[in-house]
Amino acid sequence: MICPRVFVVALALILFSCAQKENKEQGYDILVEDLNFSKDVVFDSVQVPHHLRRIVRDISTLNTYQTEALAKGATENPNFENAKKLYDLASEGELLSLTDNRNNAVALYAAVGLLEINPQYATAIFQKILNRKGKVHTQNGCIIGYEYLAEPLYQHYSNTLKPEEVRSDAGLQKLDSMLLFAKNSSEPMLVMAFRNRTYSDHLKKQIEKLAFQEHRGPAILYLSNWHKKEYALRLEQEYLHFLANDTIHEIQKRKYLYHLMSFNNPDHKKVILDYIKKDSASIDDSGIRHQLENNGIYPTDY
């Protein structure tokens, strides 16, 4: 069994080449700290068959969901290799049981394994994982994250499809529709769900709720792209609200600014001008720059 400290150091060495640090020694310390996934590890052997206990403990010890993608300089991802061993040892029923394991990495790997065995599990397993609280440490190549379990599961299912199948796949259509009604759909999942397809009118009320009651950015952008005229006034108000929200990253704010400017509403001139004065780099965005004159804003104004 690989102990947590050994894994942390090994993974830090693997990923060190991904980080661009002027002070290499300092960068290493930061990286080790960031990769100490053992801090919140949970070991759950309840209802785990005896022949699976060692591999389940190994996955739990590393406490991270790793994909097949390798970081620069790496030769393998330890927990991805552990997952393959789990799939060789566990039956379909045992994997299903492990989706209830209290260790999030174990539960997620079990869910992925079930999808590999039979994609028809997708809807039921995704709903189960979507309802699960908590997050899981993730590593996809050089990218390290801390995500809701449904995010990598959704991405795994999506990655099994060819680009031309994304819009037509019945399974992904169900997952996307589920995300519209889930209480804890994350921003990345909603972005993907709205990017994948246009939705029928019977789902428009739910999308309205996401946009105008819950103020979810991906839903607002979807309505702006596909139903702009119908929701114009409400959309403009949402964009004004977003621009005034200091917790939103400036890159995302520029996207909202661009959409607000597309309405060419002279009443918004002051708001737009105030924003580009505050975020002067925003005019480097060609989409924003090309809409300035349509909004009555000229270089002498800023």
Rg (C-alpha) for the chain, rounded Å, is 23
pLDDT value of residue 35: 61
pLDDT value of residue 29: 35
pLDDT value of residue 39: 83
pLDDT value of residue 18: 60
Nearest one of 151, 197, 142, 191 to 174, comparing CA atoms: 197
159, two tokens: 């990655």
pLDDT < 50 regions, the chain: 1-10, 12-17, 20-34
Helix, strand, coil content of the chain in percent (nearest 5) = 65, 5, 30
pLDDT value of residue 194: 96
Q: pLDDT tens, 217-256?
A: 999 999 999 999 999 999 999 999 999 999 999 999 999 9
Interhelix angle 232-243/250-261, rounded to 10 degrees, is 150
* Cβ(122)–Cβ(174) below 8 Å: yes
pLDDT value of residue 20: 42
How far, in Å, are 68, 87, 134, 213, 267 from residue 126 at the CA level?
Answer: 21, 19, 15, 25, 45
pTM for this predicted structure: 0.82
